[in-house]
Amino acid sequence: MSLSPRFLDELRSRVTLSDIVGQSVRLTRAGREYKGCCPFHKEKTPSFTVNNDKQFYHCFGCGAHGDAIGFLMQDKGQSFIEAVENLAARAGMEVPKATPQERQKEEKRKGLHQLMDAATVFMQDQLESPENRDVMTYMTGRGFSADILSAFRVGYAPADGQAIRKYLKAEGFDDAQMIEAGVLRTSQKGGEPYAFFRDRVMFPVTDKRGRVVAFGGRILPENIRPPAQGDFTPPKYINSSDTALFHKGRMLYGEALARQAAYEGHTILVVEGYLDVMACYQAGIRGAVAPLGTALTEDQIASLWTMGHLDEEKNPVLCFDGDNAGRRAAARAVERILPLLKPGKSVRLAFLPEGEDPDTYIKNKGRDGFVQILKTAIPLHRFIWEEQTEGRDFSTPESRAGLAETLEKIATQIGDRAVQNYYRQAFRDKLWEAFRYSTKQKSGGRGGASQPNIALKKPVAGQHKNAVRLERILATLINHPAQILEFEEQLSVLNEGAENYLELLHEMMEFAGEVSEKDLDTRNLKDHLNANGYGQLLEALSKETMYIHAPYARPKCEAHDVAEGLQDLFDRMAEERLLAEVGQAGRKMSAEFGEDAQERLLEMRKLLGGGSSS
């Protein structure tokens, strides 16, 4: 429904903005304005102002700005019409009635909403029906309680393509409405319309107000569905097409529940699918949403920023698989997000271990394990830096100039000028930190040692497994430096891995040998390493991806678990070296058939027990 500018101006003039804002913010008078702490980001010093004469509020901290209507939309999560109706009731004004055409359109939409709700009830009843016990067992077997299934109104679409049609007709709806709503589809053979969703677990999709507007359907596992006919393999998921109620690029699964959770202080979390959202809620992690079978769109990103009160700690977290496909998906999302960034509005990114999704990870590691993943979410600028630098060689001026040029191009994609400038400065700082010492060579003296070349060197994929194990050892020792003394003998013989990491190990061992046991702690070790130019390597070794594969390296891990983890790494490294010797001896024996080579080969095979390990 459209409202005239004249009516909206009159409405704004009849309400006192400070009264509206004052219901959520403690305001104090400051001259002709009011001041308070911004409700949209955390701050201790008030930078949020309200001007009744000019009818706007503004935050000098995060840039939030708007009128009374905008405040209710941003603070309370109300739609435009809801905010207008709220203010009109307060001002004693009547909202203009819609035109006949608008009323007709609204009545039609209302009828479709009622139809979708009736369809949802039918599917919920089907899921709870004794004859579909196998489907319910499948869902509860995945760890979902009756309360969660009810909260998300999960149902079942029976295999009978006429069942829902008969039910909805009995409820007073006709075929045309069912087809328009996407519940039925027209037969291409001239027969009766039939159900679009058949023999699938059903996930209702709601709008911001919690009204069902669409469905997603998941195929059942093979053991409880009829065998496929011919070579046809049905898709795992199918979703409603766009309708008068539903635009999949504008909506998010779980949005209504997430909005409420966000206003209660929960962080918005973007996951991949329906089951991931439900698994988060089942674990008590509220605020989860998912796009509807597509990559995040601009409209969906904008919706994320209207949920709850945003600050740096509450910006939405996007959760991805930690494999290459997950990193690519994250990069695509970042491309869409960059032009939309505003002061105070950003995202953070979290990555799961390869092959995991929130549903499986929560089942395997529990709520606490998943929360730890979310706590390590990295800000957007850091993700961009890692994507452009990890595993790449920047030993030449040309390569560094190329990196600077790439980062500059990325920064220019940001639409907001202030945010763009801060990103540009952040990238410059990173470049300075990474390369300021890279042209100096490390001397042998202790006191005035110059800096080693640490220019973003990392072992590349396909290098020896022991190079990766060295990184895990270093990450563990940084957080548990007392173990340097415990494993001094094993550490002293390590010689496999990137040169800069071996240099770092040598520096750590020297430090451990020069300070007292009391002073051998993480803080002192990091201070020493940073002072000697190893800050970039420390950052690389402290990423969450490192802790995913080496959980014993985490700062708060128990000492005995740390020792076991390190010992396992050393054992595997020794075994890897023996395997290499076996191969070398075998090749030598093949070439020379020497008796010495044969004996050495047999001796090493006995040590290995004939097996191998990775």
Per DSSP, the chain holds a count of helices (H) and strands (E) of 26, 16
Do 381 and 479 fall within a single domain? Answer: no
Do 50 and 135 fall within a single domain? Answer: no
Mean pLDDT estimate for the chain: 85
Query: What DSSP character marks residue 236?
Result: S
Do 63 and 141 fall within a single domain? Answer: no
How many degrees, rounded to 5, is the angle at CA 261 between CA 256 and CA 262?
A: 95
Is residue 31 in some structural domain? yes
What are the tens digits of pLDDT across the range 180-194? 999 999 988 888 999
Picking from 84-88, 180-184, 309-313, 413-417, which range would have the lowest pLDDT averaged per residue? 309-313
pLDDT the model gives residue 602? 58
Rounded to whole angstroms, how far apart are CA atoms 482 and 71?
A: 54
The last residue of one of the domains, among 91, 120, 153, is 91
**CATH, residue 383:** 3.40.1360.10
The answer to whether the beta carbons of residues 535 and 529 sit under 8 Å apart is: yes
The answer to whether the beta carbons of residues 60 and 49 sit under 8 Å apart is: yes
Do 232 and 349 fall within a single domain? Answer: no
The answer to whether the beta carbons of residues 90 and 13 sit under 8 Å apart is: no
The last residue of one of the domains, among 33, 65, 91, is 91
What are the tens digits of pLDDT across the range 555-614? 988 888 899 989 988 888 887 777 666 666 555 555 555 555 555 555 655 555 544 433
pLDDT the model gives residue 36? 94
Of the candidates 336, 320, 319, the one whose C-alpha atom is nearest the C-alpha of residue 328 is 320
Name the most confidently modeled range: 6-15, 104-113, 147-156, 207-216.
147-156
Is residue 183 in some structural domain? yes
Of the candidates 450, 447, 551, 459, the one whose C-alpha atom is nearest the C-alpha of residue 498 is 459
pLDDT the model gives residue 518? 87
The last residue of one of the domains, among 239, 271, 299, is 239
User: 390: which 2 tokens?
Assistant: 């990890």
Is residue 449 in some structural domain? no
Q: Give DSSP secondary structure letters for 417-483.
A: HHHHHHHHHHHHHHHHHHHTTTTS---S-STT------SS--PPTTS-HHHHHHHHHHHHHHH-TTH
The answer to whether the beta carbons of residues 338 and 427 sit under 8 Å apart is: no
Higher local confidence (pLDDT), 604 or 513: 513
**CATH, residue 159:** 3.90.980.10
pLDDT surpasses 60 at 120: yes
Is residue 585 in some structural domain? no
What are the tens digits of pLDDT across the range 142-175? 999 999 999 999 999 999 999 999 999 999 999 9
**Which residue in this structure is represented by tokens 């702690």?**
521
pLDDT the model gives residue 607? 58
pTM of this prediction exceeds 0.95: no
Do 19 and 108 fall within a single domain? Answer: no
Q: Which helix (H) or strand (E) holds 607?
A: helix 595-608
Do 170 and 226 fall within a single domain? Answer: yes
Q: Which residues pair with 237 in a beta bridge?
A: 218
Of the candidates 352, 420, 418, the one whose C-alpha atom is nearest the C-alpha of residue 380 is 420
Containing structural domain, residue 553? 464-558
Is residue 163 in some structural domain? yes
**CATH, residue 21:** 3.90.580.10
Do 157 and 208 fall within a single domain? Answer: yes
How many residues in the chain? 614
pLDDT the model gives residue 440? 42
User: 458: which 2 tokens?
Assistant: 């990392």
For helices 380-389 and 324-337, the axis angle rounded to 10 degrees is 130
Do 10 and 130 fall within a single domain? Answer: no
Is residue 181 in some structural domain? yes
The answer to whether the beta carbons of residues 611 and 582 sit under 8 Å apart is: no
What are the tens digits of pLDDT across the range 320-330? 987 788 888 99
Do 277 and 221 fall within a single domain? Answer: no
How distant, in Å, are the alpha carbons of 292, 313, 387, 458 from that of 298?
14, 22, 22, 35
Q: Cβ–Cβ contacts within 10 Å for residue 492, how many?
A: 11
Of the candidates 137, 134, 189, 202, the one whose C-alpha atom is nearest the C-alpha of residue 163 is 202
pLDDT the model gives residue 346? 93
Structural domain total, the chain: 5
Of the candidates 386, 523, 530, the one whose C-alpha atom is nearest the C-alpha of residue 451 is 530
Do 297 and 214 fall within a single domain? Answer: no
Q: Dmax of the chain from CA atoms?
A: 104
Rounded to whole angstroms, how far apart are CA atoms 354 and 361?
A: 11
pLDDT the model gives residue 591? 57
Do 75 and 120 fall within a single domain? Answer: no
Rounded to whole angstroms, how far apart are CA atoms 69 and 87?
A: 8
Is residue 567 in some structural domain? no
Rounded to whole angstroms, how far apart are CA atoms 80 and 86?
A: 10
- For 16, how many CA atoms within 13 A lie in the half-sphere containing its CB? 6
Do 416 and 525 fall within a single domain? Answer: no
Is residue 478 in some structural domain? yes
The pair phi, psi for residue 284, each rounded to 5°, is 85, 10
Rounded to whole angstroms, how far apart are CA atoms 519 and 506?
A: 18
pLDDT the model gives residue 117? 97
Q: Cβ–Cβ contacts within 10 Å for residue 160, how many?
A: 14
Picking from 83-92, 285-294, 339-348, 497-506, which range would have the lowest pLDDT averaged per residue? 497-506
* Average pLDDT of span 339-354: 91
